Structure 1
Amino acid sequence: MPPNRPQTMSPTPETEPARARPRRTQANRSRDARERLLAATIEVLMRSGYNGLTTKEVARCAGMSNGALMHHYATKAELVVAATAEIYEESIRRGQREAHTPEAIERPIEGFIKDCWSVYFDWPFIAAIEVIMVARTDPDLMSKILPVMERYRSSTNTLWLEVFRKAGFSGEQAQLALNLSLNLVRGMALNNLWQHDAAHYERYIQDWVRMVYQQFPRHAEGG
């Protein structure tokens, strides 16, 4: 044996895994618990809506006790606000992935609409709108939700306005095209909550994209 190394028993099958596997820190355990709770909250929002959501049901879906949930989120409102923030953070990540592709600069209107579509015609919008509708008549909840929504919109607009600029749009053109496209898709998504015919809207989107490029010829920088 090497000098100065204390002699020990050879590891047994029972002791080796315990020695080899590092212990998870309290911070890691808390982070994992919060992630499970937020994912469960979104699942329950999607299935039962805000009024049907209870902390007990969220805890059950997360595989945790209600007491463990209350350790991380003291109230239903606090839990829902945190889940809504995660919904919008996921939406920001989706936009970043789309905006950082070569295709986004080549065809910015389609790229931005694809980003909007992935949010408003998918679970992020459905889950978020459950909370927003309740917050409309609950000033305290709205005061907590509004900064979350504003962060999403500000981050997304800044991201895509830069893409439009690189694609050759002027600042005014980019702002107008972005806002009109956003409200077009968002309005369609609201109607789709009961109509359920995305293909119906895709035809209008194609017409809209063509009109935007006709109305706003791009500068040489964008090709």
Structure 2
Amino acid sequence: MIADGREFFFSTPFFISLDIATSINSARFRKQLMAMVRNARLPAERAWHQALVANGMSEQVADDVLWLTLGLVRGLAVRMLWQNEPERFDRLLGLWRKIVEGYIGKSR
């Protein structure tokens, strides 16, 4: 899930859509763009949620882990705009993975 989020949020299409969404003055166009992004991304997120539940997580824990993980990866991707430190990102995402593994172990 972390690798998938990183592949999406660190991609050129994500940065282009972010740039367009924050710079365009047309509410109609922004609404269409966001619909395209939702249609592209939400099915992947639903699949990850289903996979987490299928592997023994409760619906709530799977939802929390998914949202927090993707929020962290997305935040690091945005941070890359002014501070691109791939080694640090790798280290922090590895740390996040250990935190989640500990959390999952306690919630079962």
Cα displacement string for residues 147-197 of structure 1 (whole angstroms, at most 9, x for unaligned residues)? 112213321221101111122111100000000001101011001012111
Q: Is the aligned partner of 1:179 residue 2:38?
A: no
TM-score in terms of structure 2 length: 0.88
State the aligned residue count.
107
Q: Is the aligned partner of 1:160 residue 2:32?
A: no
Shift of 1:203: 0.8
> Please, which runs of 5 or more residues in structure 2 have no aligned partner?
none
Please identify which structure carries the higher helix content: 2
Cα displacement string for residues 24-49 of structure 1 (whole angstroms, at most 9, x for unaligned residues)? xxxxxxxxxxxxxxxxxxxxxxxxxx
Q: What is the root-mean-square deviation in Å for CA atoms of aligned residues?
A: 1.6
Structure showing greater radius of gyration is 1
Structure 2 counterpart of 1:183, one-letter code:
G
TM-score in terms of structure 1 length: 0.45
Match of residue 96 from structure 2: 208
CA distance in 1, matches of 2:21, 2:14: 10
CA distance in 2, matches of 1:190, 1:175: 22
Query: Which consecutive segments of 4 or more residues in structure 1 shift more than 6 A?
Result: none
Q: Is the aligned partner of 1:115 residue 2:4?
A: yes
Identity score, percent: 22
Alignment of 1:81-100 (within 5 A): none
> Please, which runs of 5 or more residues in structure 1 have no aligned partner?
1-111
Match of residue 189 from structure 1: 77
